[in-house]
């Protein structure tokens, strides 16, 4: 069967105790492998003690050079040592925000090519310590789903979906075998892992029809949007983080952005307003720079879109109207390779979310905080 030659193996373990460190070692045909490691299970804190203080890592856009398939000229991929810096962070888990690998022209035309790219990039030596250091969750964006700016029309999207499920270990993947959307929880934080590709309409489809938002122009698609809204209603988390592959709230973006899909954008914004959903923060990637966008809402708390990018792929300096983007939190722009660290801490009812952007060596570049009270309608 196609894909067997790559054959990533997943092992599910049940019946573990909470808040316990487990060590593991692989034994293959009675031979002990040198590969070993350890992990700590989540605590069972609910109804027993305060929500734990913790941190998690996140970021997007990992490009590993492979000369034969790369565009000629200066290599697009930068120093993968950033993943060694991340491996040293004592974080609870990692959320990959998409473009986690980059399929090339020679990859996305065939199923074999898609498997090859995932397999090649996942085996990078620079990533090994990081894989072992913490649980790894993910969403995808265009490049690890298909071609640049690809949408729901991509013919091999179900192959990409299968590869995604085989190389990641999210708790679930979409509904009815379609899409990758899911949810993870840690402490008093829920992260909603959305799929901005599988159901997406073309970026170039008219955004308005007869002066109204075009209801046929999908970003999440109706079923996923219904799921997201239901899941937000179900959530009692202090911070509800909506992770999206491409940017969400930047009105000045000329790149891909949820804001440019007016029908579903307004639907989601009206829902958040109407239902007075508290604690919402957007977490996005793709842009090849990092920044925090503030989106004011009359009569409600301002929403923030934390964009973190890239790990190793090229840097895209902001241009035109975005250079002095009035929606950007002052001092939050990073035009360098980086990752983000989210720190959640504080007493009950006084929980604070701190976002730090870190550079290649793990050096802290920027720190920004928001309290749960500031995210209350
Ligand atoms: Fe992207």
CA 111 to chain centre: 24
What is the 302 CA–ligand 1 centroid distance (Å)? 25
What is the 140 CA–ligand 1 centroid distance (Å)? 8
What is the 301 CA–ligand 1 centroid distance (Å)? 28
The tens digit of pLDDT for each residue in 222-280 reads 999 999 999 999 999 999 999 999 999 999 999 999 999 999 999 999 999 999 999 99
CB 221 within 8 A of CB 174: no
What is the 352 CA–ligand 1 centroid distance (Å)? 30
What is the 53 CA–ligand 1 centroid distance (Å)? 31
What is the 171 CA–ligand 1 centroid distance (Å)? 23
Q: How far, in Å, CA of 135 to CA of 329, rounded?
A: 30
The tens digit of pLDDT for each residue in 167-217 reads 999 999 999 999 999 999 999 999 999 999 999 999 999 999 999 999 999
Residue 2 confidence (pLDDT): 54
What is the 361 CA–ligand 1 centroid distance (Å)? 24
Give the C-alpha distances (Å, rounded to integers) separating 142 from 113, 114, 200: 15, 13, 11
CB 308 within 8 A of CB 56: no
Checking DSSP bridges between strand 54-59 and strand 339-345, what pairing results, if any? antiparallel
How many other CB atoms are there within 10 angstroms of residue 156's CB atom?
Answer: 21
CB within 8 Å of 36: residues ≥ 6 apart? 23, 24, 25, 26
What is the 14 CA–ligand 1 centroid distance (Å)? 35
Structure token pair of residue 70: 């790369």
Is residue 310 reached through a cis peptide bond, with omega within 30 degrees of 0 on the bond before it? yes
What is the 115 CA–ligand 1 centroid distance (Å)? 19
pLDDT over 70 (residue 152): yes
What is the 355 CA–ligand 1 centroid distance (Å)? 22
CB within 8 Å of 93: residues ≥ 6 apart? 56, 57, 134, 135, 136, 137, 184, 186
What is the 149 CA–ligand 1 centroid distance (Å)? 7
Query: At 329, phi and psi to the nearest 5?
Result: -60, 125
CB 252 within 8 A of CB 327: yes
What domains can you pick out in the chain, each with its CATH number?
Answer: 56-375 (3.60.21.70)
Residue 331 confidence (pLDDT): 97
Closest CA to 181 of 167, 195, 168, 191: 195
What is the 215 CA–ligand 1 centroid distance (Å)? 24
What is the 260 CA–ligand 1 centroid distance (Å)? 15
Q: How far, in Å, CA of 311 to CA of 277, rounded?
A: 32
What is the 148 CA–ligand 1 centroid distance (Å)? 7
What is the 150 CA–ligand 1 centroid distance (Å)? 9
What is the 324 CA–ligand 1 centroid distance (Å)? 23
What is the 287 CA–ligand 1 centroid distance (Å)? 7
Residues with CB under 5 A from ligand 1 (ion): 99, 141-142, 286
What is the 284 CA–ligand 1 centroid distance (Å)? 10
Percent of the chain with pLDDT over 70: 99
Question: What CA dihedral angle connects 67, 64, 81 and 21, to 10 degrees?
Answer: -140
What is the 89 CA–ligand 1 centroid distance (Å)? 25
pLDDT over 90 (residue 13): yes
- Token pair 């901005």 is found at 196
What is the 48 CA–ligand 1 centroid distance (Å)? 42
What is the 227 CA–ligand 1 centroid distance (Å)? 23
User: Mean pLDDT for the chain?
Assistant: 96
Closest CA to 307 of 247, 259, 370, 255: 247
pLDDT over 70 (residue 111): yes
CB 19 within 8 A of CB 40: yes
What is the 41 CA–ligand 1 centroid distance (Å)? 32
CB 96 within 8 A of CB 138: yes
The tens digit of pLDDT for each residue in 48-91 reads 999 999 999 999 999 999 999 999 999 999 999 999 999 999 99
What is the 23 CA–ligand 1 centroid distance (Å)? 36
Structure token pair of residue 176: 């009815």
What is the 98 CA–ligand 1 centroid distance (Å)? 7
Question: Residues 317-338: what's their mean pLDDT?
Answer: 97
């Amino acid at each position: 069967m196609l894909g067997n030659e790559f054959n990533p193996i997943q092992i599910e373990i049940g019946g573990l105790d909470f808040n316990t460190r487990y060590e593991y070692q692989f034994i293959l045909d009675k031979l002990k492998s040198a590969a070993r490691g350890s992990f700590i299970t989540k605590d069972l804190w609910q109804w027993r003690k305060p929500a734990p203080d913790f941190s998690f890592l996140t970021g997007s856009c990992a490009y590993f050079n492979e000369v034969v398939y790369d565009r000629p000229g200066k290599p697009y991929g930068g120093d993968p040592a950033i993943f060694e810096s991340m491996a040293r962070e004592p974080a609870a888990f990692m959320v990959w925000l998409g473009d986690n690998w980059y399929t090339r022209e020679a990859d996305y035309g065939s199923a074999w090519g898609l498997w090859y790219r995932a397999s090649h990039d996942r085996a990078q030596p620079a990533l090994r310590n990081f894989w072992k250091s913490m649980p790894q969750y993910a969403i995808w964006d265009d490049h690890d789903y298909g071609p640049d700016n690809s949408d729901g029309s991509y013919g091999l999207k179900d192959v990409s979906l299968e590869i995604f499920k085989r190389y990641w270990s999210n708790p679930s993947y979409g509904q009815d075998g379609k899409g990758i959307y899911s949810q993870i929880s840690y402490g008093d934080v829920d992260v909603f892992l959305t799929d901005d590709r599988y159901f997406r309409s073309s970026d170039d489809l008219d955004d308005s029809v007869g002066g109204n938002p075009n209801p046929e122009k999908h970003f999440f698609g109706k079923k996923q949007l219904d799921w997201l809204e239901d899941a937000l209603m179900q959530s009692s988390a202090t911070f509800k983080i909506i992770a999206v592959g491409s940017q969400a709230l930047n009105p000045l973006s000329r790149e891909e952005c949820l804001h440019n899909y007016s029908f579903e954008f307004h639907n989601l914004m009206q829902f958040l307003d109407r239902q007075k959903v508290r604690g919402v923060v957007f977490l996005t990637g793709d842009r090849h720079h990092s920044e925090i966008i503030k989106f004011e809402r009359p009569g409600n708390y301002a929403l923030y879109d934390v964009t973190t990018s890239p790990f190793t792929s090229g840097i895209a300096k902001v241009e035109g109207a975005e250079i002095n983007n009035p929606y950007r939190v002052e001092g939050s722009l990073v035009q360098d390779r980086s990752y983000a660290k989210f720190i959640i801490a504080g007493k009950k009812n006084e929980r604070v979310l701190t976002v730090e952007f870190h550079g290649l060596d793990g050096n802290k570049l920027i720190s920004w905080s928001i309290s749960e009270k500031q995210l209350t309608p």
